[in-house]
Structure 1
Amino acid sequence: MNLSNNLTPSLSLPSIRLAIYPYAKDKTFGLLAKVDHIVFKQNGYIAIDKGEQCPERQAVQVSSHDCRLGKWYCEGIGLEEFSETAAYSSLETPHADVHHQVQRAIELIQKDWISDQGIHNQLIESVKRFESASTEVMTLIDDMVEQKHQPSASTD
């Protein structure tokens, strides 16, 4: 959203606040959703590193609908505020892929990935895939906010 295009010198301070507040609120909600996603990913890395039963491993053994971002997306503010955007409908696949690949990587570290080059390569590929999907998730969250606040292209 380019606020300078929406704010003209004739607007009063209360009008400016009304124009900025909804965008700032949604941007903040998007940032909180991204933090939840980063925490999930960090727990995945810790679980991969520890390679054993640990709280972080348990934290990532949830579906993409049951994690904090999934709840935001499926039943919370994400659904309420952003479901009309194109980016919203695109989020589910990369988000599910992050979960699948993190869980796959955790499965692979239970095998002899140090000695078996094939398993080692699969582990590296899973990490690359969840990082790629994660980047897409982060971009789509930003896109949802921007799409919601784009000026409508109505013709009068």
Structure 2
Amino acid sequence: MFKSKAYTTVLNERPELVQEFTDHHHCRMGRWYYEGKGKELFSHTKAYRAMEEPHALVHDMVLGTIPCAVEKNCLTQDRRETIVGNFKKMEEASNQLFRLIREMVQEANTDIVKELEFSGKSA
């Protein structure tokens, strides 16, 4: 949702959407991570601890890009390189984040993963 809304905001220059974006502490995932079930169930895993940096980067890249929607200059030639670069970094950080989520779940459930591996099924 966050990334999709970022693309919509920038590519359609929708200034009314800009105020809906928050930092990585106050989004749904941030609340899950810092004070919710995520912290409760997964904070003991290495992957959980590694998630903060790419999650913050996703938000930083979006928050650094969306002001052009207010200025209505997102699609100008001189902004293109910055916007593409920011969205590329956002996507790379997002991919890293989803990889870490998979690792986190596996770390937290090693007994189930081992059982699946023993039975010949993949996790």
TM-score class, shorter? 0.7 to 0.9
Larger radius of gyration: 1
* Percentage identity across paired residues of the two chains: 33
2:40 is the counterpart of 1:80: yes
Residues 131 and 96 of structure 1: CA distance in aligned 2, closer, same or farther (over 3 Å)? same
2:108 equivalent in structure 1: 148
Equivalent residue of 1:51, what SS?
coil
Normalising by the residue count of structure 1, what TM-score does the alignment of the two structures yield? 0.64
- Normalised to the residue count of structure 2, the TM-score between the two structures is 0.80
Alignment of 1:9-20 (within 5 A): none
CA root-mean-square deviation: 1.7
| Deviation of 1:114 (Å) | 3.9
- What amino acid is aligned across from residue 43 of structure 1 in structure 2? K
Aligned mate of 2:4, from 30, 42, 45: 42
1:40–1:59 Cα contact (<8 Å) kept: no
Whose relative contact order is higher, 1 or 2, with alpha carbons under 8 Å and at least 6 apart? 2
* Number of equivalenced pairs: 110
- Counterparts of residues 128-139 of structure 1 (less than 5 Å): 128-139=88-99
Give the corresponding residue for 1:33.
none
Question: Using the alignment, how far apart are the partners of 1:77 and 1:97 within structure 2?
Answer: 22
CA distance in structure 2 between the aligned counterparts of 1:108 and 1:126, rounded to whole angstroms: 13
User: Which residue in 2 is equivalent to 1:107?
Assistant: 67
Please state how far the C-alpha of 1:127 moved relative to its aligned partner.
0.6
Aligned to 1:97: 57
Q: Could you list the runs of 5+ residues in structure 1 that have no partner in the other structure?
A: 1-38, 152-156
- Write the distance in 2 (CA, Å) between the matches of 1:116 and 1:75: 42
- 1:115-134 pair list within 5 angstroms: 115-117=76-78, 119-134=79-94
Q: Deviations over 1:34-93 (max 9, x none)?
A: xxxxx1111111111231322x42222x11000000000000000000000000000000
